[in-house]
A and B are shown apart, each in its own frame.
Chain A
Amino acid sequence: GEDVEQSLFLSVREGDSSVINCTYTDSSSTYLYWYKQEPGAGLQLLTYIFSNMDMKQDQRLTVLLNKKDKHLSLRIADTQTGDSAIYFCAEAFKAAGNKLTFGGGTRVLVKP
């Protein structure tokens, strides 16, 4: 089945690290993505990880993938007020023609 789940809300203090979690159910997924949506805007691709990787780092962003538990996380180091947004994880799998299945989104609020 295709189901991607995320917690609804995360509050973090400016300068701290944020960790956003995502669980998925399809073990045949090929790529997993993180998108950011700022108010009134479309979704912006942040980063992605291949399903055969455990970790990917890109500047302040670290993606961790635990395939055994079907758990994906996005860590944002030194969180800034500009990081306040909704974050979506998404999985793609070849069996569905590489269509993306999105989680419901996690709203991150960064407090000064």
Chain B
Amino acid sequence: NAGVTQTPKFQVLKTGQSMTLQCAQDMNHNSMYWYRQDPGMGLRLIYYSASEGTTDKGEVPNGYNVSRLNKREFSLRLESAAPSQTSVYFCASSPITRAEQYFGPGTRLTVT
């Protein structure tokens, strides 16, 4: 099993450009999450999907949209990138019966 995979690994955008970060899991997990990690601020939840067909805002949702395409895939979209969105983005998934989350390797995004 690959676990949680994310693409791309690295991305550089100019201010105002858009892009979609992809995430997929092969563990048959119900819940999926998007976090951003900034120096000195730990992990902050952007959006999550408790189950297929549902999405909810986390702590820092402004400037982002998400799509739970199916049970395996959960994408994060930046419609108009801003330098403040320079960060490392992690996707995670968890089974319905337990709370522990399994993380992807991350996407390092720089917005200039």
**A binding-site residues for B, Cβ under 8 Å:** 30-31, 33, 35, 41-45, 48, 88, 92, 97-100, 102-105
Contacts and interface: CB of A to CB of B under 8 A. Distances in A.
Interface of B: 4, 31, 33, 40-43, 45, 48, 50, 58, 90, 92, 94, 98-106
Interface SS, A side: strand
Contacts of A48: 100
B101 A104 contact: no
A103 B40 CA distance: 10
Centre residue among A42, A92, A99, A100 by max chain B CB count within 10 A? A42
A102 B105 contact: no
Given A43-B90, A105-B42, A100 B101 contact: yes
Contacts of A31: 98-100
B99 A42 contact: no
A105 B94 CA distance: 21
B43 A92 contact: no
Contacts of B90: 42-43
B45 A41 contact: no
Contacts of B4: 42
Given A42-B90, A97-B50, 11 more contacts: A31-B98, A33-B100, A41-B105, A43-B90, A45-B100, A92-B100, A99-B99, A100-B99, A100-B101, A102-B43, A103-B42
